[in-house]
Structure 1
Amino acid sequence: MIRLEPVLEFDDFTFLHLSGDLSPTDLNAFLRRWAEYNQGDELSDLLHTEDDMTLLPGGVRATRPSGAAVTPGCCCGLDEWRSWISLLDREPIWMGHDPGVVQKFVGDKVHLSQEGGELTLKLPLRDIPTLVAQVRTDLLGLLGLVEAHAGPEYAAILDRDLTITDPLP
């Protein structure tokens, strides 16, 4: 079965699967990337940003059990994770560019493939609600780690900007 995973993108187009199972090293990498991506020198700068929200590069990665994956492209943000529900209405979702993700609706599935790649993942539309709920579960785990490691004020910012604790439609 295909899995959807919230991922953080680093500058070298590597991705970190975000969840409550992050090692301390990976959690620190997440926190550092979050601050740096929002023009901060350190995490505490997030408390004083003049922007309405902080951003996190990445998004949702669709992964087969074998590890083969379709990943978000450039300019996709983790704040887009809830948009996957739109696939139920056969609405394409933003997954970035260079490389982008080709989305084709065929019968009761959406076919996902990376631009220029040969891999196509065929995702049954009926699985979308369960898969998006798993993304939320992973993000709730991350939120708990952020609260325990960095403090409730950072967890509140993360929740505000990613809309993690709000109920799913």
Structure 2
Amino acid sequence: MIRVSAGMSSHDVGAAMAALLPGGSDVSAARACEVSAALRAVIESDRLIAAGGVLARDTLTGVVIPPSCCCGIEGWREWTTVPQGGQPWLGHSPSPWVEHLDNAVRIRPDGGLGEDPPPIEHAITAPLDEVAAQLHSAHQDLLGFLDAATRWVHDLAPGMAEDLAGKLDGSFAITERAVS
């Protein structure tokens, strides 16, 4: 698992770029001509998909609910609808889901496709204002990642930095209006 943020190492940015490639080759270890070809493949992709998405973690209880299958970073903005009662797609196998309470949400690790939900101690309950604050933090991390990736590409293939930044931003909706 790679946490995207401004503080990513060059190796982690390279690993994140490799994860966007069809076949996932290691961009960070490739020669300059291979890096350029790999970056061109990312830039020219119809649509970038980055497995992972948003991970929910309760630091008090230690409960962690990772995104499931078919839930990538490209859908992270679905989380921004949660404070207004929205239901983001969190994947399947297992199928996490968000249960809306009065001024809070409960994130369940499974049961979102009609299965019996796991016991409550396996869920995360958070006030809506905390969810909004964490979404703002996630947005800042993505903005930082965009900056780190742009600098990384500029060091390896300067002529591609602007195109790659545009592709990442367009695919992951990074610079859209800030999450409130």
Q: Does 1:114 align with 2:100?
A: no
Q: Does 1:146 align with 2:127?
A: no
TM-score for both structures, normalised by structure 2: 0.75
Paired residues in the alignment total: 152
Q: CA deviation at 1:47?
A: 2.5
Q: What residue in structure 1 maps to residue 57 of structure 2?
A: 63
| One-letter amino acid matched to 2:102 | G
| One-letter amino acid matched to 2:13 | L
Q: Partner of 1:58: helix, strand, or coil?
A: coil
| One-letter amino acid matched to 2:133 | T
Verify the 8 A CA contact 1:57 1:75 in the aligned structure 2: yes
Q: Which has the larger radius of gyration?
A: 2
Q: CA deviation at 1:126?
A: 2.1
Q: Does 1:90 align with 2:85?
A: yes
| One-letter amino acid matched to 2:100 | F
Q: CA deviation at 1:38?
A: 8.5
Verify the 8 A CA contact 1:32 1:43 in the aligned structure 2: no
Please give the per-residue CA displacement for 1:25-67, whole angstroms capped at 9, x wherever unaligned.
221111101113689x823212333x2x322112111112365
RMSD: 2.2
Q: Partner of 1:110: helix, strand, or coil?
A: strand
> Unaligned regions of 5+ residues in structure 2, if any?
26-36, 111-117, 154-160
TM-score for both structures, normalised by structure 1: 0.80
From 26, 29, 32, the equivalent of 2:15 is 29
Cα 1:65–1:130, aligned 2, differ >3 Å: closer, same or farther?
A: same
Higher strand share: 1
| One-letter amino acid matched to 2:175 | T
| One-letter amino acid matched to 2:170 | R
Please give the per-residue CA displacement for 1:65-104, whole angstroms capped at 9, x wherever unaligned.
3653111100012111111121122221100001110321
> Unaligned regions of 5+ residues in structure 1, if any?
1-14
Over 4 Å off, 4+ runs? none
Q: Does 1:105 align with 2:91?
A: no
